[in-house]
Amino acid sequence: MPSVVELRVPTGLVSFERLDQWLSTHLSESRSAVGKWCKEGRVLVNGKQCKASTKLKGGEILTVDRPVSAPTTVLPENIDIPIVFEDADLIVVNKPSGMVVHPGAGNPSGTLINGLVSKVEAGVGEALRPGIVHRIDKDTSGLLVVAKSQRTFECLKAQFKDHSIERRYWALAWGEVSAQTIDQPLGRHPTKRVKFAVVEGGKQAITHVTPLASGIPAQSGKGGTVSLVECRLETGRTHQIRVHMESIGHPLLGDPFYGRKGDPTSAWRPVVAGLMGQMLHAKTLGFQHPNGEWMRFDSAVPDEFQGVLDFARVHIDMECI
């Protein structure tokens, strides 16, 4: 996790000094690095975001959310990974919610690929993402394919590029959702850089939404309704389903970034309060194997997701899906 540092600027500075210059000296960091932190909103002066060029008068309290450097290699670890299918070319896993896909700043170990890297040939893909051709968010569960060879990596990568991969997600969203296609470009949030948003000039993102059970009330019939929906991805942008559903007024239950602000009312409150993350599951994954065979996998929703369905007394006939 990032290391938060709090510093007090001494009173009585002889002359006004730039924020980035003062922090560079006192944190032994380059001014360019401090400037980047300021742009990312990681530096607060008396609790407010400020530019790198802000002049310090003395007496200010500086709060710096200092990022941790990412690891440079992936070390194999003995981690229990739910494997759905494996052959000489690839592995299909059912990632549990709460597991990060690959190492990065703040997550140097304990990731999905730490548990699988020993199965992947050297040099396949990126150094910190060996074999990874796509990913799903930490708190999203479900199916993911990992390439074991460069041949397979290139084959799968091409399918993701031309959108021929089949990806279907189940999600629980607030409100009564209607069938629709969301075609809205996505990019970095203009002010909250860790988030994504619908932005003009962003990358094209298309999500096809089909309600499976719409307008589900809580057991008591109070506190609003939710919908169980299937989201089929035509593109694969970061946080795509979560941002698209929020953009149409139906954010996902339990989403810490894009969910409803504040607690829901009445009967839903204890249910949502106990959720560990967004109710989103990568349920179906289909692709062409390097040998030419079309492969399609389906997975059951995890216990937490099923618990919400049980609470709402929702039964889905899988033969009708």
Q: Give the CA angle between residues 142, 237, 261 to the nearest 5°.
A: 80
Going by C-beta distance under 8 Å and a sequence separation of 6 or more, which residues neighbour residue 35?
Answer: 20, 52
Measured between alpha carbons, how far apart are the two ends of the chain, in Å? Answer: 41
C-alpha to C-alpha distance for 20 and 37, rounded to whole angstroms:
9
CB atoms within 10 A of CB 26: 13
Beta strands in the chain (DSSP E): 3-8, 17-18, 43-45, 48-49, 55-56, 61-66, 83-86, 90-95, 125-126, 129-130, 141-147, 166-174, 180-183, 186-188, 196-198, 206-217, 225-233, 280-288, 294-298
Q: CA torsion angle for 182, 160, 164, 212 (degrees, to 10)?
A: -40
Q: CA torsion angle for 151, 73, 195, 35 (degrees, to 10)?
A: -130
Cross-strand partners of 18: 55
Helix or strand or coil: residue 127?
Answer: coil
Instruction: Answer for the pair 43, 49: CB distance below 8 angstroms, yes or no.
Output: yes
Q: Which of 107, 99, 147 is nearest to 126 (CA)?
A: 147
C-alpha to C-alpha distance for 108 and 113, rounded to whole angstroms:
11
Looking only at the bridges linking them, the beta strands covering 43-45 and 48-49 are antiparallel
Question: Which sequence positions are flagged as catalytic?
Answer: 137
